[in-house]
Amino acid sequence: MNELENRLGYKFRNQKLLEEALRHSSLKRWAPAFERLEFLGDRVLGLVVSEYIFKNYTNNEGEMAKMQSVFVCAKSCYEISLYVGIDKFIQTAGQNLKTNKTVLADAIESVLGAIFIDGGYDVAKSVILSLWRNIFNNYDDMLLEPKTVLQELTQAQNGEIPEYTVTAVEGPSHDPTFTVSVTAIGQTATAYGKSRKIAETNAARIILDKIRAEG
């Protein structure tokens, strides 16, 4: 388990906790322990992330909730599980489960629950903030420059750039509302704004949100 502990950045005092966290509930005998640790880890992760958002952003409650859903979603947990290599250590009832995204996402929460029991909240918080650093930073980038991020993603995937089209301009000339459609990476989105630039930015953000949701 030393390799996994090194990747987690935490050395367990009680190794049995880590072993229980890695015995998936498909192993019926160990199901209660795994599920209980997963339940706890999910709540600890949610609290740590909520505190992080509260301390680092001035967004309103709705925007904070949106950020929370991105940071603690199954996709984010799955990415972290691959980063620490949980797929190499988890025990399941079948080999195919070791590559299942949901199983691995649940497993990282189970491990976080074990860390909380073994080391307490401050230790678990430190581990989570370290592991989730890139996810936090990537979200910051998307908030700052959605159009730039979308263009970079599109060019990296197919060498093209997003296509923005103004589909409507409504309202008085001194206070128009622009409707813009964007197509990129097989996705299409429509958004509105008080200027063409704002509408394009909003449309780009919708595409990025879709990409995140689909993983």
What residues act catalytically? Answer: 42, 109
User: What's the chain look like in SS3?
Assistant: CHHHHHHHCCCCCCHHHHHHHCECCCCHHHHHHHHHHHHHHHHHHHHHHHHHHHHHCCCCHHHHHHHHHHHCCHHHHHHHHHHHCHHHCCECCCHHHHHCHHHHHHHHHHHHHHHHHHHCHHHHHHHHHHHCHHHHHHHHHHHHCHHHHHHHHHHHHHCCCCEEEEEEEECCCCCCEEEEEEEECCEEEEEEECCHHHHHHHHHHHHHHHHHHHC
CA distances, 6 to each of 2, 131, 143, 153, 196 (Å): 6, 12, 32, 32, 49
Alpha carbons 30 and 21: distance in angstroms, whole number: 9
Torsional sign, CA 73, 49, 109, 76: positive
